[in-house]
């Protein structure tokens, strides 16, 4: 049948076209530039800083492509264990320690820090403005229990920010998993931006990273005020960790180490120090490499050490010697 | 690359990836659908129910399953497909296959059985009769294509989990909308949404025109 033949020919042409395009896409992908996969936390990626660094790096290393996989710290570490990323940029010392202790990560280097903030409605019904974090959380809890209505919203997604929140409640003397069940405590289960909007909409308090907060505030998306900030216990430390190629096969270890060296280089540290100053009125991150090398300013260096260093046999290490591979001039 | 160029590139990539995924799904799904619609065999009802059930597979769940399969630690990790456009095409094709199969089956099945009998009476062989049925089912098959493409281009879970939203590689319209929203770039997110919707409306207008042309062509 002629008609049938035509239909057949059309099908054959369409599928040939399909296969060739697919093949082309696949081949261009394989024969392409070397790619370094960087697993990163959302609070870092969403600020846009990494897009700037990607351009810098690719200009320096023609032929290399940086691919950021942006996810919460928990799933980012999971990507590392599976060998789907070569290097991690994360901010949860407790989870990092576990990851490295299990042998998945090596050559950890702290590259930046900033502070979390406790934000809330401008009228501040619970009256926590100006208090310290521990006192603020205790006040909020009591206020919440007395009024019964929702007062606090938590991301509750095991992100770095959520890990910090759990630790802060612990320091205030409460068990996160217990108070989570109470009526004044809401769980948004979503990212920082969405959680800030929930807090704004419903007049709640929450813990936020400074980057997301400033961005949302500058864009007029939220009216929340910073009520508790610049306290030692609110410090937020970002580190880079290479995935251990002796434990996880196939990862691009050389590429990962080159990227870490780039992150701690003088030039990138300067970019980090300035990022956000022009658009948001103040920088979002502080470079950490010089602070830790010189120990100045002493208070900040001390805070980072006590919060983000690993205690091995009574000594504090940025990266304990047994978890270092190769010599990349990272530790002096 | 300026923002405008970036948006154009993302839009084209979305069309290419989801278009290929739908074609791939059509290549596999249409024959299965026609078969399920025309033939009656043991287990057929179970199969059609299975495909209908799979239509409700959450995109993020499929993304998770495919991530575990395509991950370096997974069974197909050696293919190095994770975070490539090819993985995205395969993922979306799997996602829309049940839609393709279910709509085709239903359409073919509901073509008046007398048409097949008539064709056979008029001297057509089995294959010829099948073509007559196909011709009557054209509207439903076009709907299957449209629904599949719509689902593919509007899904987010698979694109995030196995595409990774990599700039210049696997960043498509939906992942851009999600990213710009979390970044607080609400207006950009809305603009991208407007692009996606207008594209789909234009696509469906073109598809309607194409359907008329094909109908005319099949009848000569």
Tokens representing residue A136 in the block: 């603020």
Per-residue pLDDT tens digits for A90-137 = 999 999 999 999 999 999 999 999 999 999 999 999 999 989 999 999
Q: Which residue has the higher pLDDT, B214 or B201?
A: B201
What's CA B73's distance to the chain center, in Å? Answer: 28
- Which residue of chain B has the CA closest to A55? B1
Please determine, for residue B220, whether its predicted confidence score (pLDDT) is greater than 80. Answer: no
Q: How confident is the model at residue A17 (pLDDT cuts 50, 70, 90)?
A: confident
Q: How confident is the model at residue B133 (pLDDT cuts 50, 70, 90)?
A: confident
Please determine, for residue A32, whether its predicted confidence score (pLDDT) is greater than 70. Answer: no
Residues of B in contact with A3 (CB under 8 A): 131, 218, 220
Q: Are A110 and A308 in contact (CB under 8 A)?
A: yes
DSSP annotation of A183 = T
For residue A114, give the H/E element and its range.
Answer: strand A105-120
**pLDDT for the residue A236:** 93
Mean pLDDT of A286-315: 93
Q: Which residue has the higher pLDDT, A327 or A31?
A: A327
Alpha helices in chain B (DSSP H): 3-38, 44-54, 59-70, 85-110, 113-121, 126-136, 138-154, 157-158, 173-182, 186-219
Pairwise CA distance, residues B120 & B130, whole Å: 10
The CA angle A152-A236-A248, to the nearest 5 degrees, is: 110
State whether residue A279 sits within 8 Å of chain B by CB.
no
**pLDDT for the residue A19:** 66
Please determine, for residue A34, whether its predicted confidence score (pLDDT) is greater than 90. Answer: no
Antiparallel, parallel or unpaired: β A152-154 and A286-287: unpaired
Residues of B in contact with A192 (CB under 8 A): 182
**pLDDT for the residue A42:** 85
Per-residue pLDDT tens digits for A141-178 = 999 999 988 999 999 888 889 999 999 999 999 999 99
Residue B89: phi, psi to the nearest 5? -60, -45
Q: Which residues contact A321 (CB under 8 A, 6 or more apart)?
A: none
State whether residue B71 sits within 8 Å of chain A by CB.
yes
Longest dimension (CA), chain B: 66
Q: Which residue has the higher pLDDT, A155 or B211?
A: A155
Please determine, for residue B114, whether its predicted confidence score (pLDDT) is greater than 60. Answer: yes
**Out of A26-30, A59-63, A152-156, A255-259, which region has the weakest mean confidence (pLDDT)?**
A26-30
Tokens representing residue A126 in the block: 């619970």
> Rounded to the nearest 10 degrees, how much is the dihedral formed by the CA atoms of B203, B205, B206, B207?
80
Residues of B in contact with A248 (CB under 8 A): 72
- Which residue of chain A has the CA closest to B163? A69
pTM of the model: 0.83
Pairwise CA distance, residues B24 & B216, whole Å: 25
Which of B27, B63, B164 is best to mutate for the A interface (most A CBs within 10 A)?
B164
End-to-end Cα, chain A, rounded Å: 80
For A199, other C-beta atoms within 10 Å of its C-beta total: 24
What was the ipTM of the complex prediction? Answer: 0.77
Pairwise CA distance, residues B6 & B167, whole Å: 9
Q: Give the residues across from A237 on adjacent strands.
A: A113
Please determine, for residue A77, whether its predicted confidence score (pLDDT) is greater than 70. Answer: yes
Please determine, for residue A260, whether its predicted confidence score (pLDDT) is greater than 90. Answer: yes
Per-residue pLDDT tens digits for A170-193 = 999 999 999 999 999 999 988 888
Q: Position of tokens 């991208």?
A: B192
Residues of B in contact with A54 (CB under 8 A): 167
């Amino acid at each position: 049948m002629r008609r049938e033949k035509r239909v057949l020919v059309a099908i054959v042409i369409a599928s040939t076209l399909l296969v060739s395009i697919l093949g082309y896409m696949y081949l261009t992908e394989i024969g392409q530039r070397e790619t370094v996969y960087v697993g990163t936390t959302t609070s870092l990626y969403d600020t846009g800083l990494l897009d700037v660094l990607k351009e810098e790096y690719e200009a320096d290393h023609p032929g290399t492509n940086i691919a950021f996989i942006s996810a919460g710290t928990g799933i980012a570490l999971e990507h590392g264990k599976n060998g789907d990323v070569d290097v991690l940029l994360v901010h949860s010392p407790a989870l990092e320690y576990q990851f490295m202790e299990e042998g998945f990560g090596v050559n950890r280097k702290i590259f930046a820090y900033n502070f979390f903030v406790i934000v809330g409605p401008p009228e501040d019904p619970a009256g926590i403005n100006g208090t310290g974090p521990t006192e603020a959380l205790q006040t909020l809890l009591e206020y919440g229990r007395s009024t019964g209505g929702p007062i606090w919203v938590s991301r509750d997604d095991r992100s770095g920010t959520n890990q910090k929140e759990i630790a802060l409640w612990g320091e205030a003397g409460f068990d996160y998993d217990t108070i989570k069940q109470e009526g004044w405590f809401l769980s948004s289960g979503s990212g920082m931006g969405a959680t800030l909007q929930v807090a704004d909409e419903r007049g709640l308090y929450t813990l936020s990273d400074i980057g997301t907060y400033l961005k949302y505030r500058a864009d007029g998306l939220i009216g929340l005020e910073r009520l508790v900030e610049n306290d030692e216990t609110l410090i937020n430390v970002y580190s880079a960790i290479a995935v251990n190629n002796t434990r996880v096969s196939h990862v691009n270890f050389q590429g990962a180490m080159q990227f870490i060296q780039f992150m701690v280089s003088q030039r990138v540290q300067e970019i980090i120090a300035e990022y956000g100053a022009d658009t948001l009125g103040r920088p979002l991150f502080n470079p950490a490499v010089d602070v830790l090398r010189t120990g100045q300013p002493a208070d900040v260096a001390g805070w980072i050490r006590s919060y983000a260093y690993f205690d091995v046999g009574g000594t504090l290490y940025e990266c304990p010697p047994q978890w270092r591979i190769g010599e990349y001039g990272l530790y002096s | 690359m300026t923002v405008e160029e970036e948006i154009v590139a993302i839009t084209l990539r979305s069309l290419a990836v989801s278009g290929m995924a739908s074609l791939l799904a059509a290549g596999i799904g249409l024959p299965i659908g026609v078969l399920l619609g025309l033939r009656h065999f043991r287990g057929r009802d179970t199969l059609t129910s299975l495909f209908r059930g799979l239509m409700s597979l959450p995109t993020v769940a499929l993304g998770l399953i495919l991530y575990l399969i395509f991950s370096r630690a997974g069974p197909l990790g050696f293919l190095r497909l994770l975070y490539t456009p090819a993985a995205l095409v395969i993922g979306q094709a799997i996602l829309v296959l049940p839609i393709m199969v279910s709509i085709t089956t239903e359409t073919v099945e509901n073509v008046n059985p007398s048409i097949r009998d008539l064709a056979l009476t008029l001297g057509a062989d089995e294959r010829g009769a099948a073509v007559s049925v196909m011709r009557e089912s054209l509207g439903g098959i076009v709907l299957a294509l449209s629904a599949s493409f719509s689902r593919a281009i509007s899904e987010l879970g698979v694109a995030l989990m196995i595409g990774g939203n990599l700039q210049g590689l696997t960043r498509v319209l939906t992942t851009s909308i999600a990213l710009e929203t979390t970044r607080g770039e609400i207006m950009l997110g809305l603009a991208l949404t407007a692009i996606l919707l207008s594209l789909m409306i234009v696509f469906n207008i073109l598809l309607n025109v194409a359907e008329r042309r094909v109908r005319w062509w099949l009848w000569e």
